[in-house]
A and B are shown apart, each in its own frame.
Chain A
Amino acid sequence: MRRVNKDQKVRISLTLNGRKMSAETEPRMLLSDFLRHSLGATGTHVGCEHGVCGCCTVQIDGTAVRSCLTLAMQAEDRAVTTVESLAGPGGTLNKLQQAFRNHHALQCGFCTPGILMSFTDFLARNPKPTEEELRDVLGGHICRCTGYAGIMAALKEAAGLTNTNEPTGAKS
C-alpha cells in the first residue's frame, strides 16, 4: 500500500467486477463506503460497521473479506468482486442465486449479498463441503429475517448435498 498524508485526497483505482474504475477520496475511506458512494455499487450493504454481521462481504482477488473492516486503499490495483457480478447475461441467476430463490433463503435481502459473496468464495475452494462446514461459514453472517432454515437449504442445494429444488422455505 502506498504511503499518503492523512489530510491529502487520494485517487484510488481498482478493478470492480472486471472493469477498471477510480475515484478521488480521503485515505481513511472504508472500502464499503467507497464501493457504495464513490463507485455507485450499492449492492454491497453495511449492517454493523464493526465486522460482526457479514452484510458487507465482497471479494478481493477472489478472497471474501469484510469491506467495512477494509480501507479502500487496501484494494488499490486489485480485483474487487461484488454481488453485482454474479448473474449471467440478461440477469440469469447463477446456481447459488437460483438455490436461494428456490428455498426462500431471503426475505428483505439485506444480508443476502454478503452471504452470496462468502459462499461464492467458499464453494469455489471447497466444492464438496459437509453440512457442518456450510453451517460454520454461515455462522459468520447475521440474517434477521429468515431464521436461517431457507439459507441452509439453499446452500445444501448449491453444494450438491441435496438434489431437490422444490421450494421449502421451512425445512432445513
Chain B
Amino acid sequence: MSKRLGTSVARKEDPALLSGHGRYADDLPVPAGTLHAHVIRSPHPHADIVSIDAAEALAKDGVWAVITGDDVRKISDPFLVALKAPIHQWSLAVERVRFVGEPVALVVAENRYLAEDAAELVQIEYTPLEAIIDPVAACKPSAPILHAEANTNEVSVRKFQYGDTKSAFEKADKVVKLTVDFHRLSFTPMECFVAVASYNPANDSYDCMANFQGPFSTHPVMARALRVPGPKMRLRIPPDSGGSFGIKLSVFPYVVLAALASKITGRPVKWVEDRAEHLLAASSGPNRVTEIEAAVTKDGKILGLRMDQLEDYGAFLRAPMPGPLYRMHGAVTGGYDVANIDVINRVVLTNKMPASLIRGFGGPQLYLALERLVQRIAIELGLDHLDVIRRNLVPPEKFPYHAAAGSLYDSGDYPRAVETAIGGGRLDHLKKRRDEARKAGRKYGIGFAVVVEPAMSNMGYLSTLLTPEARDKAGPKNGATSMVTVNLDPLGAVSVTADVTVQGQGHETVLAQIVAEQLGLTPHDIDVTLEMDTAKDQWSIAAGTYSCRFTPGTAVAAHMAAGQIAAKLKGIAAKQLNVLPDDVELVGGKIRSRSNPDNAVSFSRIAGTSHWSPVMLPDGMAPVISETGVWNPPELAPPSGDDRINTSFTYGFVFDMCGIEIDPVTYQVKVDRYVSMHDAGKILNPMIADGQICGAFAQGIAAALYEEFVTNEEGAFLTGTFADYLVPTVSEIPPVELLHMESPSPFTPLGAKGLAEGNCMSVPACIANAIADALGVKDVQLPATPRRIHALMAQHGGVR
C-alpha cells in the first residue's frame, strides 16, 4: 500500500487500542491519597434550597467533606458567559436549583463506594417552584423567571438584515411558510466525564487532568472561576478519550469543582461520572423552534428568506453558548444563492439541563428548517423538489462565493455534485421503488437534503451576538490559530505534538502522513504525541478538537512545521553535499542532490547535526531542533459593521438522497436506500474520512429516528438510562452509499476541508423530507418514532 498523503494508511492508533493499552482518563495513575467525589444532584427542575444537613454523612469514617454551593461561592467566581447578562453559574447550585440533575453538593471520601453511601445520609430540603419547560411559553411575560436579575427568560434577541428582503417579499409570486421544531439530544460518548485535581497551597495553583476536548477558550473561564491566572491552572488531557462529539467540553464545570474540592480537603480529588449522571445532566444539544418563510417566484426561485430562530439553552448559558445559534450564521442561506434574508436570533432559558456543544453544532437545526422549506416550496408550487433545489443552488462560476450573511464559500460545484449523486441510475431506482410500493398501497417517500458543511470556526463568530457598537467597545475578535511542533532527536528521529485533543479521529495517523510526506520519510517513522498539557504545550484559544478544525487548521500547521524543518535541513545538507539548497531533495530517508542522486546523505545524519555539531550549520542558521507551524488564515475576519461574518474557514458540500418506507404494522420508518455525496476538497486519508462520515451518518439516523431527551411538562426527566434513551445498535443503522468529489479549497495549502459533521446536519432533514413525501404531510416532528408516525397517519387518515 502506498503511504502517501491521500491514501488509506492504516491507523497508528490501533495496535494499542486493540490490545487494551489505551490510556484513557480513568486509566491514568493518581497521586497516593487521592480522594473520590460523588455529586448529589437536584431531583427538582426548579426549587429553592432551604437547607443542607451533612452532619450524619460527615460522621462516617472515611468521609472528608460535603461541599455545598455556599462553600464554592466563597472561594470561586461564577463562570464567564459570552452574553452580558446576569446569569450566574457556579460549579454547585447556589441558593436555587434550575434543572433536574443540577449539582447541589459534593461528597468527598476515601473511595467512591463510601462517597455514594455517605451521599444518602445528606439531608437536603427544597421549596419547589413552578418550572418552565417549553421555550415558546418561557418567553411569555407570565412565565416563571429562571434568573431574577435578568428579568426575562428571553435573554438575547438580535435582528439581522441582509439585502432587501422587504422588496423580495413584495415582488414574490408566493410566500411559503413553515414552523420547524428541532428536539434535544446528545451523542453520549461511551466514556463518561473524568476530572482529577490537586491544589498546591504553596503557590496557590491547581494541577488538573480531565478528558476535556476544547475549545481552549474555556481555559480562561476555568482559571477565572478559580481566581487564578491561567498558568496557575494547569490542565492535562490524557492521550486517549472514549469519544466526545462536542460533549466533553462540558466536563469543565466539574474540573473546577474537583479543583475546589482539592483546595477544601487538602488532598487530590478525583471524580468519575456514571452513565445515569451523564444522561441526566452532562450536556444536550439545544432545541430550536424556527419560523421560516420564503418569497418565491412561480418557477421556484427563492427571492428572499425570513427566519425567526428561538433556541433553548436550558437553565444556564455556559461558554461558549449560544454558539449553535451563531456558528452557521454566515452560511444561513445554505447551498442556495439567496441575496436577501432577514434573521431574528433569540436565546431563551428553561428548566432543563444546559445545552452545549454537539457534533453538527447548529447545522441540524438550520438545515431541518431550510430543507423542509425547500420541499414545501416544491409542493406548494406544484414543482419537482429536485428542480427547486437546482434552480437555487449557488452556481459554480460564483466561487469563491460571498453568501448574503457573510460566509465566503471557498470552492465547489454544487450542481455537478447533485447530478452525480442522482446519476448512475440511483434516482431512477428510488423512483421505481416508490412507484412499486405506492402501487401496492404502501407508504414510500423520497427525500433530498442540501448541506454546506462549515469547518474551523472563526473565533469571532460569537461576537455577532453583540451589536456592532458593543463589539467596538469589547475589541475585535476573529481568526483561529492552529499550531503543530515537529521535533528532531539526536539520532534524527522525528516527533510531533499538536494543538488537538484525541477522541478517535485518527489525527495521529494523518499528522504522521503529512509530516512524513514533507520529510521524505514514512508515517511509520514519525512519532506523534497528542496528550496535552497547558503548562508545556503550545496552544491558543482555538485549540482542541471541535467544529472540524483539524483538516483546515491543525493539518495545515503540521504541513507548515514540517516544511520549515525540510527547508532548513536542505540548507544544512547543501553545505555538506556541496550543492545549492535548491538542488536538495528529501526522498526515501535520504537527503540528496536532485541533479546527482548519488550525492546523498542519510536523513538522520543531517537531522542530528543541530544536536551534535551546531557549529557546522550554515552561517547564521540557528540550530534546527524543533519548528512550530503557526497557521491563521486571513479569511477569518471579524464581523463587519453591517453584521456580515465569515463564520468558518472552509465550506464543504453534502447532498443526500434517500428512499424510506413506513412499516404498515409497526409504523417504523425503514430506510430503503441512502446515498450521500460529499465534496470535502482534497481527502487526506480516505479510510479515515469514510469512517468519520459513517459515524456522523449513524448519529444523523439516531437524531432522525431514535434519540430524544424527554422532559415532561412538570420538568421530570424521562430518559435517564440507555433503556429509555435509545442509542441505535447495528440493527438500526442502514447501509449508506458514499460518493466523493474533490473541489480543493484554494485557501489552504492542503486543499482539504472538514467532513465529519455534514451527515449530522443532512440526515435529519433528508429523512424528514422523505417522510413528508411518503405521507403527504407538512409537519414532521423528529425523532420520527413509530408513535409519532402513527399519530401523523391517524391525523391524515392513513391508518388502516
Tell me the A residues contacting B by CB distance below 8 Å: 26, 28-29, 36, 41-50, 52-53, 55, 82-84, 86-87, 91, 93, 97, 100-102, 104, 106-113, 116, 135, 138-152, 167-170, 172
Contact = CB atoms under 8 A, between A and B. Distances in A.
A108 B241 contact: yes
Contacts of A169: 8, 686-688, 690-691, 694
Interface in B90-110: none
A139 B729 contact: yes
A168 B721 CA distance: 33
A49 B726 CA distance: 16
B191 A147 contact: no
A84 B19 contact: yes
A86 B738 CA distance: 33
11 contacts: A53-B275, A93-B19, A109-B18, A109-B22, A110-B24, A110-B191, A112-B17, A139-B730, A142-B729, A149-B736, A170-B694
B697 interface: yes
A129 B503 CA distance: 32
Interface string B1-42: 000000010110111011111101011000000000000000
A170 B27 CA distance: 31
Contacts, number: 188
Contact of B242 (A41, A45, A146): A45
Contacts of A140: 729
B695 interface: yes
Contacts of A147: 694-699, 733, 736
Given A43-B21, A106-B18, A107-B504, A144 B189 contact: yes
Given A45-B190, A144-B187, 5 more contacts: A53-B722, A84-B20, A87-B18, A107-B695, A142-B729
B320 interface: no
B694 A149 contact: yes
Interface in B166-181: none
The 10 closest A-B pairs by CB, nearest first: A43-B20, A110-B242, A109-B17, A108-B504, A147-B698, A170-B690, A107-B504, A42-B27, A147-B694, A83-B20
Interface string B238-275: 00111101000000000000000000000000000011
B21 A104 contact: no
B613 interface: no
Contacts of B240: 108-109
A15 B554 CA distance: 45
Contact of A104 (B11, B191, B242, B723): B11
B-side binding surface: helix, strand, loop or mixed?
A: loop
Interface in B496-513: 503-506
Interface in B273-313: 274-276
Contact of A48 (B722, B729, B730): B722
A84 B20 CA distance: 5
A170 B693 contact: yes
Contact of B11 (A44, A47, A101, A148): A101
Contacts of B595: none
B735 interface: yes
A48 to B, nearest CB: 4
B24 A142 contact: no
A45 B733 CA distance: 24
B427 interface: no
B612 interface: no
Contacts of B506: 107
Interface residues of B, number: 58
B20 A139 contact: no
Nearest to A50: B721
A137 to B, nearest CB: 9
B399 interface: no
A-side binding surface: helix, strand, loop or mixed?
A: loop
Nearest to A46: B26
A91 B19 CA distance: 8
A144 B242 CA distance: 9
Contacts of B20: 41-44, 82-84, 86, 113
Contact of A135 (B191, B276, B731): B731
B735 A172 contact: yes
Contact of A142 (B13, B190, B695): B190
Contacts of A106: 14, 17-18, 504
Most chain B CB within a 10 A radius of its CB, from A50, A55, A106, A110: A110
Contacts of B722: 48, 50, 52-53, 142
Nearest to A155: B730
B690 A93 contact: no
B691 A97 contact: no
Given A87-B19, A145-B243, A148-B730, A168 B687 contact: yes
B188 interface: yes
A17 B275 CA distance: 28
B541 interface: no
Most chain A CB within a 10 A radius of its CB, from B14, B113, B241, B504: B14
Nearest to A83: B20
A100 B191 contact: no
B670 to A, nearest CB: 16
A52 B279 CA distance: 14
Contacts of A83: 18-20
Most chain B CB within a 10 A radius of its CB, from A49, A97, A109: A109
Given A48-B722, A108-B503, A144-B243, A43 B729 contact: no
A107 B18 CA distance: 11
B729 A138 contact: yes
Nearest to A48: B275
Interface string B701-725: 0000000000000000000011100
B174 to A, nearest CB: 40
Most chain A CB within a 10 A radius of its CB, from B27, B188, B190, B692: B190
Given A135-B730, A167-B8, A108 B19 contact: no
Contacts of B567: none
Contacts of B8: 167, 169
A119 B729 CA distance: 16
